[in-house]
Chains A and B, each alone.
Chain A
């Protein structure tokens, strides 16, 4: 059965700290791995990773995929209170039709 596991489940840090969120997967017909940020409503897209070892960056956020280890990390440096959210990892699979398998999410709270 396909599964995506995120760790930690929950994290509380202070502003300025750096955090690393983990995502591991066991998915048949892997196509890409995606990271989303969810605040009060629907998730917003952060990164899509398809190639191993290539870091994607957007401001203070960066992410990298390791296909050998079947995992990905999302780094946030110099955290701010506005980074408080649930971070979701999803794996896109294709086997006839497209399918997205979501992890449990990591709830991040950044304290002022």
Chain B
């Protein structure tokens, strides 16, 4: 139990295009989901906290107009990287916090590797 999926696993796109990444909790509901970014050999950096039915909370320095987050249901959050540029290339990981008590307080998706040419 407590599986989080992400789609796609990896994506290559041209500069200027937009890319949508989906994060789904498969067997539990999650009012709160998180989006992280990870550069090579570095730790996870929290980008934003996504709350079902309300606006996401962005961390300092993260442009909300560039990284659009939608959390339309208790099992799905999406991150759209708008007008992507090469510097947006990174590993994006989502996690979901179960509404009910489980072993851990957040479960991670497998990540999406984005490469912008």
Contacts and interface: CB of A to CB of B under 8 A. Distances in A.
A101 B46 contact: yes
A41 interface: yes
Contacts of A102: 36, 43-46
Band of interface residues on B: 20 to 34
Contacts of A32: 105
Interface string B70-112: 0000000000000000000000010101000001111111110
Contact of A103 (B34, B43, B107): B43
Interface in A66-107: 86, 88, 90, 92, 97-105, 107
A34 B111 CA distance: 19
Interface string B29-49: 000101010000111111001
Contacts of B93: 42-43
Given A98-B32, A98-B97, A100-B34, A42 B108 contact: yes
B46 A100 contact: yes
A88 B106 CA distance: 14
B32 A97 contact: yes
8 contacts: A45-B107, A88-B44, A97-B51, A99-B46, A99-B49, A102-B43, A102-B45, A105-B42
Nearest to B45: A102
Contacts of A98: 32, 49, 97, 105
User: Which A-B residue pairs are the 7 nearest by beta carbons?
Assistant: A42-B108, A45-B104, A102-B44, A105-B43, A42-B111, A102-B43, A104-B43
Given A97-B57, A99-B49, A102-B45, 14 more contacts: A32-B105, A34-B105, A41-B111, A42-B93, A42-B111, A43-B108, A45-B107, A88-B43, A92-B106, A98-B105, A100-B46, A100-B95, A102-B36, A104-B43
